[in-house]
Amino acid sequence: MTVLVTGGTGYIGSHTVVELLENKIKVIVIDNFTNSKREVVDRIKKITGKDFIFYEKDVCDKEALRKIFQKHSIDAVIHFAGYKAVGESVKDPLKYYQNNLFSTIQLLQVMDEADCRKLVFSSSATVYGNPKTLPIKEDFPLSTTNPYGTTKWMIEQILRDVERSNSNWSIAILRYFNPIGAHPSGLLGEDPNGIPNNLMPYIMKVANHELGTLNVFGNDYNTKDGTGVRDYIHVVDLAKGHLKALDKIAKTTGVDAYNLGTGIGYSVLEMIHTFEKVNGVKINYRITDRRPGDIDACYADASYAEKELGWKAEKSLEDMCRDAYHYIVQNKK
Ligand code: UD1
């Protein structure tokens, strides 16, 4: 089987390419390094001892996509490529709608021309907005709070319409909860430039003395200790979910959405204390105001993915904290 991976050098994409190669799947990656580093290509090869085809191209470049589909016989696509910074999407919504929607539409058109109609799409738990009850099930009402989330929601609707127009399509929509951690080799992980927006990258930079103090955004939420609760999932577990989704779409047609989470919610303070304990480091923090738009708690009912895909997250919060710290120490600047 040959799989085209868009955004295959990004955080989740790179871990997924490793899993694909380790499962003897032929991989073609397209990425333009907008939010990733060139060295990731060699690092994937180093971890797996396997080669893959790489194109430095933009998914918005339709001619480039066409040429790739003409040159190779592609069985399925995993589509990660897209912008993902929530704050930036609020400031520059058109950049997000232009890039995330346009690239996906082009990709779907070229896939259709090439008679390749099997797709795994990278969505997010952000499409559930502020859920009324927990845990979150796939059939909960969808709503979004920022343009980034709206692009994910819109693409989900586009995919459903496309499948409705031609029942040969087979599409798995994967709704990720909060991916963290890194490859146990220390060669792949998440290392955003500048000041991170998300909790775990921020904790990693404080642990590594790149930043002084973590701001804990509010301790008056309706949760066990007042700080926000989220469903953190190890990026390697998440990557494995894509292989299970590929198996599923190989055997079926239609479109369906699956939550990829652990089903367990941890608070910000639990995250800090687990990270400290596992790695023997101190994380300085202070309680500050809430971050606008944040919700109390968000965690998955992950039973549908287990039933339908035969997938379940296996790694613990300790594994996530250990691998995240290993990565940042190993890649000290
Ligand atoms: C964020 C995105 C969401 C995306 C998800 C993917 C925002 C507003 N939302 O979700 O769209 O799908 O990542 O991983 O960015 N926190 C702190 N201090 C910090 C950073 C975070 O206390 O410096 C707290 C937050 O208030 C929250 C928890 O940590 O309670 C997790 O925050 P974060 O890692 O940013 O993820 P989400 O907000 O869940």
Distance 199 CA to ligand 1 centre (A): 6
Determine the atom of ligand 1 nearest the C-alpha atom of 148: 11
Mutate which of 142, 294, 317 for ligand 1 pocket (most atoms within 8 A of beta carbon): 294
Q: Which of these, 36, 37, 327, lies nearest to 207 by C-alpha position?
A: 327
pLDDT of residue 191: 82
Instruction: Output the residue whose Cα is nearest ligand 1's atom 35.
Output: 198
pLDDT of residue 64: 98
Interval 275-296 mean pLDDT: 97
Give the amino acid at 312.
K
- Asked if residue 119 has pLDDT above 90, the reply is yes
pLDDT of residue 6: 98
Determine the atom of ligand 1 nearest the C-alpha atom of 229: 30
C-alpha 36/C-alpha 99 separation (Å) is 16
Distance 193 CA to ligand 1 centre (A): 17
pLDDT tens, residue by residue, 124-135:
999 999 999 999
C-alpha 180/C-alpha 266 separation (Å) is 13
CB 79 within 8 A of CB 7: yes
- Percent of the chain past pLDDT 90, that is, above it, reads 98
pLDDT of residue 31: 98
Instruction: Output the residue whose Cα is nearest ligand 1's atom 7.
Output: 86
Determine the atom of ligand 1 nearest the C-alpha atom of 201: 34
Distance 222 CA to ligand 1 centre (A): 16
- How far the first Cα of the chain sits from its last, in Å, is 38
pLDDT of residue 294: 94
pLDDT tens, residue by residue, 217-251:
999 999 999 999 999 999 999 999 999 999 999 99
Domain 2-181+232-261 indexed as CATH 1.10.8.100: no
C-alpha 187/C-alpha 201 separation (Å) is 16
Catalytic residues, by residue number, are 148
Interval 108-131 mean pLDDT: 98
pLDDT tens, residue by residue, 291-332:
998 999 999 999 999 999 999 999 999 999 999 999 999 998
Instruction: Place 192 in a pLDDT band, splitting at 50, 70 and 90.
Output: confident
CB 243 within 8 A of CB 23: yes
- Asked if residue 49 has pLDDT above 90, the reply is yes
Interval 109-136 mean pLDDT: 97
pLDDT of residue 194: 83
Ligand 1 binding pocket (C-beta < 6 A) is 86, 124, 126, 149, 178-179, 197-199, 202, 214-217, 228, 230, 268, 291, 293-294
Distance 152 CA to ligand 1 centre (A): 17
Question: 136 φ, ψ to 5°?
Answer: -85, 125
Unique residue bearing structure tokens 């796939």:
138
| Burial call 230-264: b when 16+ CB within 10 Å, e when fewer | bbbbbbbbbbbbbbbbbbbbeeeeebbbbbbbbbb
Instruction: Place 66 in a pLDDT band, splitting at 50, 70 and 90.
Output: very high
Unique residue bearing structure tokens 């069985």:
75
Residues 6+ apart with CB under 8 A from 170: 117, 118, 119, 249, 250, 252, 253, 254, 255
According to DSSP, the residues that pair with 276 across neighbouring strands are none
> Is pTM beyond 0.95 here?
yes
